[in-house]
């Protein structure tokens, strides 16, 4: 008997991401409109700015530009989170980072499932921001118990999806036929259901406690709540959205516009009010509505080192402290001005960002290095080789999320009155116990990618040692 080869997890992820996007565009047509606006703006930018196009080609970013996407889901129990970990593993996605959102007024903590190696990220950067509802933060106790009872009864995975996860775990992969099946089956978990699993009364109680609780508890599964393409000009899209009948949130989250973008800037359109049906105890169908699903865009920049991140966090905090109140329609321009002013303290050219070790970089051997007399280069440092034109560098793209920004995205889609505060401490340990493994440290991943690129340069130049 011949053995069927396994499909590469990167390919399963790329296909799953496409299938998810198609499903979501059907479910939320406004997301399709946003995608078209983003594609048009990206094309315009590329034709107007040849230098930008060159930079994106150099790093391979141009190929993944149109497939760039992240999505988000919210689950209710440890078992759901742990099974999602197994589901995402089939597609080569592992939990990276821990995000505590309770301190920012959202009763969840989260991780991002994503690929980790630069080659895999290149094949498909698709990530899922996954939040676990923290039931322990819910008052009163009776409602907490009720929510937990409702969640205990639901099964969010199809039996066949579970079978295929086990198949992947025991044999190390899926064959072509199994992978096709897996994509169809796993998509079911993230589908929207316009029928709630609870009565209108129970929905209202959950909703009164926090809109997010109703969103997680009252439905059959963790519907995908947004998808996010990557834009080359987030400010242009923020301005253009209203002209396309799309209502954006009031401010762009993250750093201000810069010559050398850092981390992540993101904005979204406001969640839509959608019709749902509730079933009463006597079997009557009652029409109501629920607001949860939206579209988002992101613009990514350089991944920062711990030192760079610390500076970012301090400047962001300083801007928010100066504004004193949460951002709204009236103060959004003022906030952006304050933010730009504070960030004048963050160097805005790559050589300085590199010299001060604020960001991670990827190093490439130049054309010149291929015909170099390598003996004479032995012993030169990385800086010297860059100076002599044998090596060039590009910033490493940030592949993760930002807790303050994520809270801002949550908040703007939960309504303004949900500015609650939760006293609970961040609980990475509890999260990892529920997940069934430790989350991966993102800084370590950037460090490794940077190091691998230096090793490739050394190999090309036939250097035995290449120190920074």
Both tokens of residue 441?
């440290």
Which among ligand OOG, Ni ion, none contacts residue 225 (Cβ within 5 to 8 A by kind)?
ligand OOG
Residue 68 contacts Ni ion per CB under 5 A: no
Q: Which of residues 399-428 bind ligand OOG (CB under 6 A)?
A: 401, 405-406, 409-410
By beta-carbon proximity to ligand OOG, the closer residue of 196 and 407 is 407
By beta-carbon proximity to ligand OOG, the closer residue of 80 and 296 is 296
The strand pairing partners of 274, in sequence order, are 290
By beta-carbon proximity to ligand OOG, the closer residue of 265 and 342 is 265
By beta-carbon proximity to ligand OOG, the closer residue of 13 and 223 is 223
Cα–Cα distance measured from residue 329 to residue 353, given in angstroms and rounded to the nearest whole number:
34
Cα–Cα distance measured from residue 23 to residue 12, given in angstroms and rounded to the nearest whole number:
16
Q: Are 330 and 291 in contact (CB under 8 A)?
A: no
Cα–Cα distance measured from residue 348 to residue 345, given in angstroms and rounded to the nearest whole number:
9
The helix/strand/coil state of 260 is coil
Question: How far are the Cα atoms of 265, 349, 400, 419 from residue 300, in angstroms, in the given order?
Answer: 6, 16, 9, 27
Name the residue number minimizing CB distance to ligand OOG: 406
Which among Ni ion, ligand OOG, none contacts residue 131 (Cβ within 5 to 8 A by kind)?
ligand OOG
The distance from CA 327 to its chain's CA centroid, rounded to whole angstroms, is 22
Which among Ni ion, ligand OOG, none contacts residue 74 (Cβ within 5 to 8 A by kind)?
ligand OOG
Q: Which of residues 174-213 bind ligand OOG (CB under 6 A)?
A: none
The full DSSP string for 276-333 is EEEE-TTS-EEEEEEE---EEEEEE-BPB-HHHHHHHHHHHHHHHHHH-S---TTTHH
Q: How many residues bind Ni ion (CB under 5 A)?
A: 3
State the nearest-atom distance from the C-beta of 409 to ligand OOG, in Å.
Answer: 4
Name the segment binding ligand OOG (CB under 6 A); options: 18-26, 283-291, 300-308, 398-406: 398-406
The helix/strand/coil state of 296 is strand
State the nearest-atom distance from the C-beta of 405 to Ni ion, in Å.
Answer: 9
Which among ligand OOG, Ni ion, none contacts residue 234 (Cβ within 5 to 8 A by kind)?
none
69-75/226-229 β-pairing:
antiparallel
Q: Which of residues 208-247 bind Ni ion (CB under 5 A)?
A: 228
CB atoms within 10 A of CB 2: 4
Of 186, 266, 267, 449, which one interacts with ligand OOG (CB under 6 A)? 266
Of 118, 253, 296, 400, which one interacts with Ni ion (CB under 5 A)? 296
Of 77, 197, 209, 225, which one interacts with ligand OOG (CB under 6 A)? 225
Per-residue x/- track, 291-320, ligand OOG (CB under 6 A): -----x------------------------
Q: Are 108 and 422 in contact (CB under 8 A)?
A: no
State the nearest-atom distance from the C-beta of 436 to ligand OOG, in Å.
Answer: 21
The dihedral over CA atoms of 376, 381, 386, 390, expressed in degrees to the nearest 10, equals 30
Q: Which of residues 111-150 bind ligand OOG (CB under 6 A)?
A: 129, 131
Cα–Cα distance measured from residue 397 to residue 390, given in angstroms and rounded to the nearest whole number:
22
State the nearest-atom distance from the C-beta of 294 to Ni ion, in Å.
Answer: 9
Region of residue 283 (left: phi > 0; alpha: psi -120 to 50; beta: else): left
State the nearest-atom distance from the C-beta of 354 to ligand OOG, in Å.
Answer: 27
Name the segment binding Ni ion (CB under 5 A); options: 161-169, 188-196, 205-213, 296-304: 296-304
Cα–Cα distance measured from residue 392 to residue 388, given in angstroms and rounded to the nearest whole number:
10
The helix/strand/coil state of 337 is helix
Chain residues that interact with ligand OOG, rule: CB under 6 A: 72, 74, 129, 131, 225, 266, 296, 401, 405-406, 409-410
Binding residues (CB under 5 A) for Ni ion: these are 72, 228, 296
């Amino acid at each position: 008997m011949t053995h069927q080869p396994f499909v590469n997890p990167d390919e399963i992820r790329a296909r799953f991401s496409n299938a998810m996007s198609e499903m979501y565009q059907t479910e939320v047509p406004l997301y399709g409109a946003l995608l078209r606006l983003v594609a048009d703006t990206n094309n315009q930018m590329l034709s107007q700015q040849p230098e930008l196009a060159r930079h994106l080609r150099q790093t391979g970013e141009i190929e993944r530009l149109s497939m760039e996407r992240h999505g988000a889901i919210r689950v209710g129990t440890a078992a759901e989170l742990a099974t999602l970990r197994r589901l995402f593993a089939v597609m080569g996605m592992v939990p990276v980072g821990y995000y505590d959102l309770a301190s920012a007024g959202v009763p969840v903590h989260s991780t991002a499932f994503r690929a980790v190696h630069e080659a895999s990220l290149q094949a498909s950067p698709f990530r899922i921001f996954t939040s676990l509802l923290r039931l322990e933060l819910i008052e009163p106790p009776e409602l907490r118990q009720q929510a937990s009872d409702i969640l205990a009864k639901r099964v969010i995975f199809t039996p066949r999806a579970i079978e295929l996860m086990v198949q992947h775990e025991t044999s190390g992969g899926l064959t072509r036929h199994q992978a096709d099946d897996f994509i169809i089956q796993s998509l079911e978990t993230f589908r929207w259901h316009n029928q709630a699993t609870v009565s209108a009364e129970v929905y209202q109680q959950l909703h009164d406690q926090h809109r997010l609780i109703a969103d997680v508890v009252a439905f059959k599964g963790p519907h995908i709540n947004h998808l996010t393409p990557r834009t080359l000009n987030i400010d242009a899209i923020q301005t253009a959205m209203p002209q396309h009948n799309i209502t954006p949130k009031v401010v762009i989250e993250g750093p201000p516009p810069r010559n050398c973008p850092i981390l992540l800037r993101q904005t979204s359109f406001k969640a839509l009010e959608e019709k749902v049906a509730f079933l009463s105890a006597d079997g009557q169908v009652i029409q109501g509505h629920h607001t949860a699903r939206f579209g988002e865009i992101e613009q990514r920049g350089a991944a920062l080192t711990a030192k760079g991140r610390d500076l970012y966090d301090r400047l962001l905090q300083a801007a928010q402290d100066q504004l004193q109140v949460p951002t709204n329609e009236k103060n959004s321009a003022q906030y952006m001005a304050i933010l730009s002013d504070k960030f004048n303290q963050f160097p805005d050219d790559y050589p300085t960002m590199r010299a001060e070790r604020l960001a991670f970089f990827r190093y490439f051997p130049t054309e010149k290095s291929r015909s170099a007399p390598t003996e004479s280069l032995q012993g030169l440092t990385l800086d010297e080789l860059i100076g002599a034109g044998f090596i060039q560098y590009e910033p490493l793209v940030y592949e993760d999320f930002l807790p303050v920004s994520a809270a801002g995205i949550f908040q703007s889609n939960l309504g303004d009155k949900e500015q609650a505060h939760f006293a609970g401490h961040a609980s990475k340990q509890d999260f990892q116990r529920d997940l069934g493994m430790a989350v991966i440290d993102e800084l370590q991943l950037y460090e490794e990618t940077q190091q691998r690129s230096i090793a490739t340069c050394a190999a090309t130049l036939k250097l035995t040692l290449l120190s920074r």
